[in-house]
A and B are shown apart, each in its own frame.
Chain A
Amino acid sequence: MDIQVNAIDAAFARLREEGRTALIPFLTIGDPDLGTSVEIIEALEQAGADMIELGVPYSDPLADGPVIQRASERALANGRVTLEDCIQVAEHARGAGVKLPFILFSYYNPVLQFGLERFFELVTAKGISGLIIPDLPIEEDAELRAMAEAANIHLIPLVAPTSNDRVVRIAAKARGFVYCVSSLGVTGVRADFHQGIDEFLATVRSATNTPIAVGFGISSREQVERFSKQADGVIVGSAIVRKIEEVVPLLQSPAMKQDGLAQIRAFVGELKG
């Protein structure tokens, strides 16, 4: 039997050959509605994204700043978007021809309530390649990690500038890529990154052969270029979610929807350079 290559690994291998850095946008699924999320995913691919983080809206998003909190609130207010709905969106996006690897971003409780076994059956069937669970540190992830490895789904860990001696242990277990948190604090656009960010990234780099990606607070082309020199991937979350928030009125109007999608495409295209 062939061991299937995970799509995230394949994408990083190809990017390495091309000498490029992955652009990894994030969106909150269901903001403003499930159907539009599929179209936004298509727009992100057209604009040059290399993988996409699909954010599951949650009532208590501890690691997120106000922009993504508001997106969660919108998604939950507009018809209680569930974990299963988010995975369906991935399937519909595939149906619409999207080829990019999908990474599901969810807080732990929705996954736990869905049931871990049922969850892995579903994500495997629907073409999800990776998982990010921001409130599941290595001390708590043994059961889920074992199931993820068995299913060939990459559990992507976060490391922070405060991780210090934990970096080596976390990086050793990392699959897909290591998500390096650029600054202390929650997600959100910011001008300054943590002092010592360069040293931090170098530490992570030296701890693993797995690709590393930088996220939290990246919002401009200059910042994307800055981190492209040090990392294999750059994650842009709040800046895109804020752009989506700006164009929600357009996205909700049948006549204006294409304008809204075009603005998102243009924004991501500009980040990409």
Chain B
Amino acid sequence: MTQVPDENGRFGKFGGRYVPETLMNALIELEEAYRHYSKDPDFIAEVRYLLTKYSGRPTSLYHAQRLSEHLGGAQIYLKREDLNHTGAHKINNTIGQGVLAKRMGKTKIIAETGAGQHGVASATVAALLGMECKVFMGEEDTKRQELNVFRMKLLGAEVVPVTSGTRTLKDACNETLRYWVSHVDDTYYILGSVTGPHPYPMMVRDFQRIIGDESREQIQKEAGRLPDYVVAAVGGGSNAIGMFYPFIGDASVKLIGVEAAGRGVDTDEHAATMTKGRHGVFQGSLSYVLQDEYGQVQPAHSISAGLDYPGIGPEHAYLKDTERAAYLPITDAEALEALQLLSRTEGIIPALESAHAIAQVMKLAPTLGSDQIIVVSLSGRGDKDVQAIMGYLEGGM
């Protein structure tokens, strides 16, 4: 298999760097610093140390026996990213980029956030490394995720409500990029997903691949073989690419990304970028985009703020078009049902994002034999969503 991305940040035709000229040298400088430090033993050791001692890695791969029995098919293993410090896989990336920012001599970090998970993970790392932190968050999301706003403030970060456009994640990304354009000299932008201009999709994948690397080793140790399926939820796609990447060369392992179908892919309210989107340039890279026929980006909808995004990382577009991975939609209602099932059968309340992956497993597992294996990324825990879920379950959709 050829190495992706190439030196221009291309995954096949996807990716690239579609940004204002003002940012080009900052991105080139970032790429050079990343290529340098990712081979530096001291840098690698520091990141590894923090992942182990601070975040608690490796996370366990847990055989969900009651869920497997209940669904009556394949054996289901959960990769417990929810057990990370701050409750989701996001910290893998913010630790990596935070340490990189420090090595680059930056004193301030900025980040965008949707649900607040990446914002919290960024604020956490900023506190840990003694850096200033500003988090841009759509005004709508600051209302939906009040508790996370407070968590970020508690961690010493400043939360900047974004009032442009749809006032959600996509506009928080725009605003963070705009701010970065004016402050490139001393500010490092910790992008939270495998989206945006090169080198972010490559770099964030590399920081998240620990999910798949650990899973691949753990399943072989526990089951003596590779899984038949690997399943992960996809918004921008960072936990999914982290999970998929080490398995890409294993032809027998089928990769399934699960995207948010919101109220249904035949309604106007979904975030099913792969199912309903087309190729386009959005926020710095060429990928699939939810857009109208004129190229205006469409607002997305999902019960899960982390999947509520009209774009997707370019490497996923590449995996889809080369047919190495399949991308399937799950509705809000299906995700809620899966969340309750996992809570009751295993005593694990998943994040709404991760519940989408579980919902796909609910469809897939019963079609498989009991000797088959599904590894699913449980990307985050549901604590942050409990209040919203209460609203949905008691107040209706």
Query: Which residues on A are within 8 Å of B, measured CB to CB?
Result: 58-63, 65-66, 69, 73, 76, 80, 82-83, 108-114, 134-137, 139-140, 157-164, 166, 170, 181, 184-186
**A184 touching B21 in the complex, CB below 8 Å, given contacts A59-B297, A109-B291, A113-B280:** no
B50 within 8 A of partner (CB): no
Give chain A residues whose Cβ lies under 8 Å from the Cβ of B178: 62-63, 65, 185-186
Q: Pick the contact of B24 from A59, A60, A163 — CB < 8 Å?
A: A163
Closest Cβ neighbor of A70 among chain B residues: B164
B294:A110 contact, CB within 8 angstroms:
yes
B17 within 8 A of partner (CB): yes
Offer 17 A-B interface pairs, CB within 8 angstroms, sorted by A: A60-B282, A63-B178, A66-B164, A69-B165, A80-B294, A82-B294, A114-B295, A134-B20, A137-B24, A157-B21, A160-B20, A160-B22, A163-B22, A163-B25, A181-B21, A184-B22, A186-B181
Q: How far is the CA of A42 from the CA of B18 in the complex (A)?
A: 33
**Interface bits B154-183 vs A (CB < 8 Å: 1, else 0):** 000000000011000011001001100111
Q: How far is the CA of A43 from the CA of B246 in the complex (A)?
A: 61
B181:A184 contact, CB within 8 angstroms:
yes
A83:B24 contact, CB within 8 angstroms:
no
Q: Pick the contact of A135 from B18, B26, B165, B297 — CB < 8 Å?
A: B18
Give chain A residues whose Cβ lies under 8 Å from the Cβ of B291: 109, 113
Give chain B residues whose Cβ lies under 8 Å from the Cβ of A186: 178, 181-182
Give chain B residues whose Cβ lies under 8 Å from the Cβ of A161: 22
Closest Cβ neighbor of A57 among chain B residues: B296
B250 within 8 A of partner (CB): no
Interface centre among B18, B171, B177, B183 (most CB of A within 10 A): B18
Closest Cβ neighbor of A162 among chain B residues: B25
B25:A158 contact, CB within 8 angstroms:
no
B296:A58 contact, CB within 8 angstroms:
yes
Q: How far is the CA of A108 from the CA of B283 in the complex (A)?
A: 11
Give chain A residues whose Cβ lies under 8 Å from the Cβ of B281: 108-109, 112, 135
Kindly identify, within residues 260 to 302 of chain B, every residue whose CB is under 8 Å from any CB belonging to chain A: 278, 280-284, 289, 291-297
Query: Which residues on B are within 8 Å of A, measured CB to CB?
Result: 8, 16-26, 164-165, 170-171, 174, 177-178, 181-184, 278, 280-284, 289, 291-297
Q: Pick the contact of A140 from B16, B182, B292 — CB < 8 Å?
A: B16
Count how many pairs of residues, one from A and one from B, have CB atoms less than 8 Å apart in the complex: 117
In addition to A108-B18, A113-B294, A185-B22, 20 A-B residue pairs with Cβ atoms within 8 Å of each other are A59-B297, A60-B170, A60-B297, A63-B178, A65-B178, A73-B165, A108-B281, A109-B281, A109-B295, A113-B295, A136-B18, A157-B21, A160-B20, A161-B22, A162-B22, A162-B25, A181-B21, A184-B181, A185-B181, A186-B182
A135:B294 contact, CB within 8 angstroms:
no
Q: From residue B290, how far is it (CB to closest CB) to chain A in Å?
A: 11
Give the 7 A-B residue pairs with the shortest CB-CB distance, closest first.
A113-B295, A185-B182, A110-B295, A160-B22, A109-B295, A59-B296, A63-B20
Q: How far is the CA of A26 from the CA of B171 in the complex (A)?
A: 24
A109:B21 contact, CB within 8 angstroms:
no
Interface centre among A62, A69, A184 (most CB of B within 10 A): A62
A69:B164 contact, CB within 8 angstroms:
yes
Q: From residue A226, how far is it (CB to closest CB) to chain B in Å?
A: 21
Give chain A residues whose Cβ lies under 8 Å from the Cβ of B165: 59-60, 69, 73
B177:A158 contact, CB within 8 angstroms:
no
Give chain B residues whose Cβ lies under 8 Å from the Cβ of A108: 18, 281
A166:B25 contact, CB within 8 angstroms:
yes
Q: From residue A119, how far is it (CB to closest CB) to chain B in Å?
A: 11
A184:B184 contact, CB within 8 angstroms:
yes
Give chain B residues whose Cβ lies under 8 Å from the Cβ of A137: 17-21, 24
Closest Cβ neighbor of A183 among chain B residues: B182
Give chain B residues whose Cβ lies under 8 Å from the Cβ of A136: 18
